[in-house]
Amino acid sequence: MKIDLEALTISELAALIDQAHDLIARKQKDAVTSARAEVQKIASEVGMSVEELLGLQSGKGAKKAPKEKKPVAIKYRNPKDHTQTWSGRGKSPRWLQEILNQGGSLDNFLIK
């Protein structure tokens, strides 16, 4: 069925758009309902709840949530600019590398 859109009035086009939006919403809801039923069926076939299957709950086959990473304590600070710090991990910052290249000691920047 092909609609001649050119022949429709503005109000008829607006009504058609509203009908299309309603139909889209209904089809999306039906798709979600169908997908939910399918997931529940799969979960029951493997002997798990949906939450366990999706890793949302601890239990047989459930994934553990990753541990929260805690920030690393600051070990070194630039005496000229206290906002510049370094934890001692990874590549040393440019400000520190420049001082070390000039013969400075890392111990001079250690926070005590």
pLDDT of residue 38: 94
pLDDT of residue 103: 87
Task: Tell me if 100 is assigned to some domain.
Answer: yes
Same domain, 49 and 85: no
Same domain, 9 and 48: yes
CA triple 17-20-23, angle to 5 deg:
155
Same domain, 49 and 89: no
Task: Tell me if 11 is assigned to some domain.
Answer: yes
> 0.85 cut: is pTM over it?
no
Task: Dump the DSSP string for 23-43.
Answer: HHHHHHHHHHHHHHHHHHHHH
pLDDT along the chain (112 residues), means of 10: 90 94 96 95 90 72 70 87 88 89 86 81
Task: Tell me if 23 is assigned to some domain.
Answer: yes
How many domains are there within the chain? 2
Task: Tell me if 67 is assigned to some domain.
Answer: no
93: domain range?
76-109
pLDDT of residue 65: 65
Task: Tell me if 86 is assigned to some domain.
Answer: yes
Contact 77, 111 (CB under 8 A): yes
pLDDT of residue 81: 87
pLDDT of residue 82: 86
Task: Tell me if 16 is assigned to some domain.
Answer: yes
Task: Tell me if 58 is assigned to some domain.
Answer: no
Task: Tell me if 17 is assigned to some domain.
Answer: yes
